[in-house]
Chain A
Amino acid sequence: MKQTTEIEEVPMELLAEPLDWFFAEHYRHRQLCQMIDEISAATVFDGERIGRVVAFLAHDLALHVIDEEEDFFPLLRRRCRPEDEVEGVLGMLSAEHRADVAKASQVSDLLKTCLLKETAPGLDPARRKILSEFASQERRHLGLENAVILPIARLRLDADDLATLGRRLAARRGRVLHEPSA
């Protein structure tokens, strides 16, 4: 029987180490891409797995874009030095986020149609193309974030930055990380 990919959960304790959290989240997004590739290649309808991808795109991906666009990236812009030349990269990544969200909505719509009709998306070449384009775009984006953004963040964000960032990541997920008592 062929092995299938699942999307693992990130332990909530990792919220206290936000850069590790982002790295783990990126790993989950790669698992999503793998899952999309498998769904795209399959000719047998698997409603449960398609439903998991739809849910991930609706909740996890949307939350991750807010984490980065309205928290992590603005913080980096404030902390990085001119010689880091981070503006261009962040500007490009923001554009990619927008493209990801648009593409994710397209992917989500087509998968919902497949769920409704109980058909495998892999049977339609046009749908396969959309799924594959999304997965490729997402992988490129994650690669750039891991290779450029996370290393710069490790260099420029200090312990207080990471603690406040972690608290906001947690709050966005309905959790309160308490400040360590002095």
Chain B
Amino acid sequence: MTQALFRRNLAWAAARARDDRNYFPDLAAQEAPDYLWIGCADSHLPAHDLTGLAPGQLFVHRNLANLAPAQDSNFLSVLQYALEVLKVRHVIVCGHYGCGGVRAALSGARHGLVDHWLQPVRSLFWRHAEELEAILDVEARVNHLCEHNVIEQVISLAGNPLAHDAWRRGQPLAVHGWIYSIHDGLLRDLETTVSDLHQARALAGAPTGGEPRRKAARTRS
């Protein structure tokens, strides 16, 4: 069965080489990407398709429910490499509506080891329970929690020492929270962009005397 994948791979590589003889040389010669993309393992659309970028122009990290956990060595290694070696200028947390991980966290049912991974999402639901329970439809509730989850990951990144180090070094860095729908393939900006230490502190809840976080961070897509 997997032999079919090798046959498809041959056909794909041949088609690329036939259509554009520079496709693979260009890919190999590409400079470091400007973007780190933190997406969901369960998402159906590749990040470079969504953004119209070539595959090498995004550095991609994916896990269940697009989390940015400050204790996960896999994620931290990716983040450190992206910030310190590749020197990406944008970190994008991108969730998707209808996320299976978020749905599982919301269900309250026991799924095994994954429940531990999804515990932060469950806690997030508890924190926003009043608001979320006003949404009677389960799908709409899942979607709203998907948005909250993206924003929460941006907050976590805004408080991450690796990001703080980058800003202290004077490195240009913006952290964004986006979401897309599998039904239309369109990205939505959740307006949580932070691009300096001051905004990061405000977003993480530190007293700065600045504007409220969502309003202050409001950008357009």
Given the complex, which residues of A lie within 8 Å of B184, measured CB to CB?
66, 70, 168, 171-172
Which of A7-15, A52-60, A83-91, A126-134 sits within the interface?
Answer: A83-91
Q: Is A154 an interface residue (CB 8 A)?
A: no
Find the B residue at minimum CB distance from A98.
Answer: B137
Given the contacts A88-B134, A91-B134, A91-B135, A69 and B140 also touching, CB distance less than 8 Å: yes
Q: Is B45 an interface residue (CB 8 A)?
A: no
Given the complex, which residues of A lie within 8 Å of B183, measured CB to CB?
66, 70
| B203-221 interface code vs A (CB 8 A; 1 in, 0 out) | 0000000000010000011
A66 to B147, CA, bound (A): 16
Q: Is A143 an interface residue (CB 8 A)?
A: no
Given the complex, which residues of B lie within 8 Å of A168, measured CB to CB?
184, 186, 188
User: Which residues in window 42-90 of A have CB below 8 A to B?
Assistant: 66, 69-71, 73-75, 77-78, 87-88, 90
* Contact between chains at A94 and B136 (CB < 8 Å): yes
Enumerate the 10 nearest inter-chain pairs by beta-carbon distance, A residue then B residue, closest first. Answer: A94-B140, A94-B137, A91-B135, A95-B136, A95-B137, A87-B134, A70-B181, A91-B134, A66-B183, A98-B137
Interface residues of B (CB under 8 A from A): 97, 131, 134-137, 139-140, 143-144, 147, 181, 183-184, 186, 188, 190-191, 214, 220-221
Interface residues of A (CB under 8 A from B): 66, 69-71, 73-75, 77-78, 87-88, 90-92, 94-95, 97-98, 160, 164, 168, 171-172
Q: List 15 A-B contacts (CB under 8 A).
A: A70-B143, A73-B140, A74-B144, A75-B188, A77-B144, A87-B131, A87-B134, A87-B135, A90-B135, A90-B140, A91-B137, A94-B136, A98-B139, A168-B184, A172-B184
